[in-house]
Structure 1
Amino acid sequence: MKIKVEHLDDKGRFEDLEFDLTYLQFTKHLAFAGMGVHRSLYNLFRFTGYMLEFVQYWRIREDRFAVPEVILHDPTELGQLSNRIGKGLADFLAKRIYGAKYTHNYESAMVQYGHPIKGRRPDLYCDTGSRQFAVEAKGYKVSSVSENKMLEHKSQSLEGPVPVHFSVASVAFDLYESPTIKFHDPVGEGIEYAEGINKKLISIYYRSIMYSIEQVGMERSDRVENLPEGYIAYEIPFLPPRRCLYLLLHKSIVENMWDDIREFPSDYAEDDIFTYIDVDGVGLCIR
């Protein structure tokens, strides 16, 4: 699916971008964006549910999302669906445009800083390895988003008690005709990189994934052909027959050695629509 992006950088410059998004990419970013602060089976069940649920909304040949007629007339249901799509797209763009390696829900960072979960705040806390930034993510059916509305979302991206280098308003709209995102970057203040906090959040993220694998009893699979070098495959249950979905993890994650690595190299080919590996060393493949 092609998505159009209007990017406004911190110097006030606009540029029009376009990205190709596969279903594996979309569902990975949708499910793993802001996984939470606690180890829970919810993470795995949520991902599997998204993988099964969103295929009905995916119209790759039409470059858009689509929903049943009954949802189009239910503003609550449509609003919830649109917002989830918007969050997944924001996660994708935070990594593609600003080089985030990890995205956590903003509340996770608040917990690590000792702040109570209250007040207005953005959705995502993102870590590039040298800077942290916040993202306010929205998704809408409407065909356009006014500059006044963008100012409102940009204002919320700047709220919250966690120190960040800058913040972004990511607003996806026209999702069911021609998906477009305004990705606007308000200027932030100069602060230090929170290395200790970010390492804790990274550890929580990976331990949550490994905990889910252990509790469900997912085992390594040696049946995956053309597995990217350095990766281990785990078959994800609960899917229909004839298709096997695998969670891919870099071996350093499985061996609890993520503190020792900042890059997850592999021979993964980005044009492979049946495999996707994200910059955090977590991927998916269908066989």
Structure 2
Amino acid sequence: MNSKGNESLSKATKSILNKYRIRLNKNLGQNYLIDNNKRNQIINFGDISKEDIVLEIGAGIGTLTIELAKKAKKVIAIEQDSNICKILNQRLKDEKIDNVELINDDALKIEFPKFNKIVSNLPYQISSPITFKFLDYDFDLAILMYQKEFGERMNGEVGSKNYSRLSAMLYFKCDVKLLSDVSCESFIPKPKVDSVVMGLTPKESKIDSKDFNVYSKFTKALFQHRNKKIRNALIDSRHIVSNLDKKEIKKRLNDIDDERINDYLTKRVVVLSPEEILFISKELNPIFND
């Protein structure tokens, strides 16, 4: 350990797990942070005040929850594992903390109560769907821990190996910033890969909700085939953007006489910028859905 704080957090975590005979399941994303310096850093990144209602996904035994609750107006802590949830509930009682709303449920399946900030060491297996879900909510700031590879894809540049549906979706919604690297040694059980802390700050919207919904569908369809040409990607993922069958989709694509659209249809998905994907989604959506 590199500090007494780290040692105490590590010992405290192991002591709680031993006391309740809990064996963490890496397959469920149960990798608990034991680096006190990183915990403090994450909370500081959140700039928490008594005005803030903080959402935490994957609260675990309360490594972040308890410290967040000391700074925030309220913490909404969601934990799916019922046994872990009982432990956290008892810890909150022992610490006399009464500003945590503890929810024992699947974060992907519930409607979130009102919040304005998100601070979470996310279960890695739900990183993608939970991030897309966050985009449906209004918030001021999100401080989120991800596997390093996932974090790199959040800011993927057009045409690069990291350019993905994720980076294209975030482009119109948030400014994304890498805040800190986190070694795999900072967790128990130790994961096979390092992690990163990412900051998401919502942007002023350049796109209305109707257009974004259309963009979202087309982005999902296209990036299922990121190395194919736009035309072929849309044919192969037609069920996402239209109810038409393959023959009719092909016919409508063949009938397009707009030179600019036809030029885009010959390009590969990975080379299109988010603005270009938005353009073709708005142009093609009425053609596929009239």
TM-score by length of 2: 0.24
* Bigger RCO (CA 8 Å, 6+ sep): 1
TM-score by length of 1: 0.25
More strand per residue: 1 or 2? 1
